[in-house]
């Protein structure tokens, strides 16, 4: 039987905005992401430190846009790319797929991790397809988009700022990870690990997973 490994951070990934730890300024009842989740799909740039929930939020929004909560009766094709490994060929393939989807009344949502790694010409390649509605772009970046993302692309997206997780938020994730792995961890160890994680939730969860093994 083939063994498939799923990281603990992936297993614990929230399925809705109310379960997201941290980012209450975005996920509260009157938060901007809560409002966006109820609207039609819109292009976004998610800017924040590593391990603060950018990928999670992108996936939750995709589900919300196609679900009953938004009132949208649409089918969404969600595509994920990493700008670290993707190139022009990958962008062209996504654009062709998006154009085919549109003819079938399917909305294409492209999530690009580390979008700042794309050069100017690669970023420009998205512009006409965002304008035409073929493509909804959600870009994630750890760098200031004002300096790393083209102005033309910024003008067609909304920038959402995520903050580093607080000590309390990180401790909450650590306790959740410990419970999921049936691990016992002392309160002082929780505090120390949260401090060492530097507000990176994924790093904190991975540490618990490693310790449990």
Could you please report the per-residue DSSP string of 160-192?
EE-PPPPHHHHHHHHHHHHHHTT----HHHHHH
Query: What confidence score (pLDDT) does residue 4 get?
Result: 78
- Based on the fold, state whether residues 32 and 97 are members of the same structural domain: yes
- Based on the fold, state whether residues 64 and 152 are members of the same structural domain: yes
Asked whether residue 99 carries a pLDDT value surpassing 80, the answer given is yes
Alpha carbon distance 138, 167 (integer Å): 28
- Based on the fold, state whether residues 146 and 202 are members of the same structural domain: no
Residue 32 and residue 26 in contact, taking contact as beta carbons nearer than 8 Å: yes
Residues 50-77, mean pLDDT to the nearest whole number? 86
Strand partners, 158: 44
- Based on the fold, state whether residues 183 and 83 are members of the same structural domain: no
Strand partners, 79: 110
Q: Structural domain tally of the chain?
A: 2
Query: What confidence score (pLDDT) does residue 136 get?
Result: 97
- Based on the fold, state whether residues 146 and 179 are members of the same structural domain: no
- Based on the fold, state whether residues 85 and 113 are members of the same structural domain: yes
Q: Of the candidates 76, 149, 131, which has an alpha carbon nearest to the alpha carbon of residue 109?
A: 76
DSSP-derived letter for residue 132 is: H
Q: In which residue are the tokens 């993302």 written?
A: 149
- Based on the fold, state whether residues 117 and 54 are members of the same structural domain: yes
- Based on the fold, state whether residues 32 and 66 are members of the same structural domain: yes
33-42, 62-71, 170-179, range with the lowest pLDDT: 62-71
Q: Would 172 be classed as within a structural domain?
A: yes
- Based on the fold, state whether residues 37 and 111 are members of the same structural domain: yes
Asked whether residue 146 carries a pLDDT value surpassing 80, the answer given is yes
Asked whether residue 66 carries a pLDDT value surpassing 90, the answer given is no
| Residue range of the domain that includes 38 | 23-161
Q: Would 14 be classed as within a structural domain?
A: no
């Amino acid at each position: 039987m083939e063994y498939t490994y799923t990281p603990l951070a992936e297993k614990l990934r929230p399925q809705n905005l109310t379960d997201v730890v941290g980012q209450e300024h975005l996920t509260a009842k009157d938060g901007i992401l809560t409002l966006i989740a109820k609207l039609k799909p819109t292009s976004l740039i998610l800017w924040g430190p590593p391990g603060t929930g950018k990928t999670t939020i992108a996936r939750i929004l995709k589900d919300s846009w196609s679900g009953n909560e938004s009132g949208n009766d649409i089918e969404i094709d969600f595509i994920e790319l990493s700008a670290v490994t993707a190139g022009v060929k990958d962008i062209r393939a996504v654009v062709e797929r998006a154009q085919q989807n549109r003819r079938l009344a399917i909305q294409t949502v492209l999530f690009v991790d580390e979008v700042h790694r794309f050069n100017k010409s690669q970023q420009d390649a998205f512009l006409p397809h965002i304008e035409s509605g073929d493509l909804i772009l959600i870009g994630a970046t750890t760098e200031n988009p004002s300096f790393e993302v083209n102005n033309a692309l910024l003008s067609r997206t909304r920038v959402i700022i995520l903050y580093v997780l607080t000590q309390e938020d990180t401790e909450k994730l650590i306790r959740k990870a410990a419970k999921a792995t049936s691990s016992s961890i002392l309160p002082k160890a929780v505090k120390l690990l949260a401090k060492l994680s530097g507000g990176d939730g994924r790093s904190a969860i991975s540490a618990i997973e490693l310790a449990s093994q």
